[in-house]
Amino acid sequence: MKFPKFISERMPDGKSILAVYAVIVTLVYSWTLFTSFYKLPSWLFYLTLPQILSVYAYSFSIDLIESIIALAGILLLNFTIFLFLKNREEFQSRSIILATILLGTSMLRLALFQNYEDINAFLSGELLWWAIAIPLGLILAVFAPRIKMVRSILEGFAERATVFVYIYIPLSLISLIVVLIRNLY
């Protein structure tokens, strides 16, 4: 399929998309693994090993869906509000900045406001947090990639993160099968 020149000159190559996806996967799956360590001691108290592995199977399945949604969102942004930016070279670092700031804000808020007593603080600050995080993400996504050093750091990180795609995605596919089997039989 041949895209119109306007689109094709803005379309990132597969390798760049994979690199961005690798960063998203690293963030999303690492967060789940990290938070699971809070829960693991209590799971060990009342769940058997197959049950704990099943909980991880559900978690990785959800993470797979989440990471695809996040990538789709980033691509959508690149083809809408960032459409005016021609520079394909900046796609990777721009997307990594966006993903990191948006997912990072979400993670930080989840870490700060966990309990029933935190509900009011979670709600009252929500608008302000996002009102800062979203414009900050957009501004940095536009300007930071223009700095060569930033670009090279982010691309280096993405390159190293690609290994997680090859670990987590097969694991997620196995997890999906486990979830399917547990629910069909």
Interface with another protein (CB under 8 A): 27-28, 31-32, 35-36, 38-39, 42-48, 51, 54-55, 58-59, 62-63, 65-66, 69-70, 103, 106-107, 109-111, 114-116, 118-119, 122-123, 126, 179, 182-185
* Nearer to another protein (CB atom), residue 85 or residue 107: 107
Phi/psi for 90 (5° steps) reads -90, -5
* Nearer to another protein (CB atom), residue 76 or residue 123: 123
* Under 8 Å between Cβ of 142 and 117: no
Would you give the DSSP letter of residue 9? Answer: T
d(CA 155, CA 141): 14
* Nearer to another protein (CB atom), residue 43 or residue 157: 43
CB of 167 to another protein, least distance (A): 18
CB of 3 to another protein, least distance (A): 29
d(CA 180, CA 163): 26
CB of 172 to another protein, least distance (A): 13
Q: How far is CA 159 from CA 33, 56, 74, 92, 102, in A?
A: 21, 26, 18, 10, 20
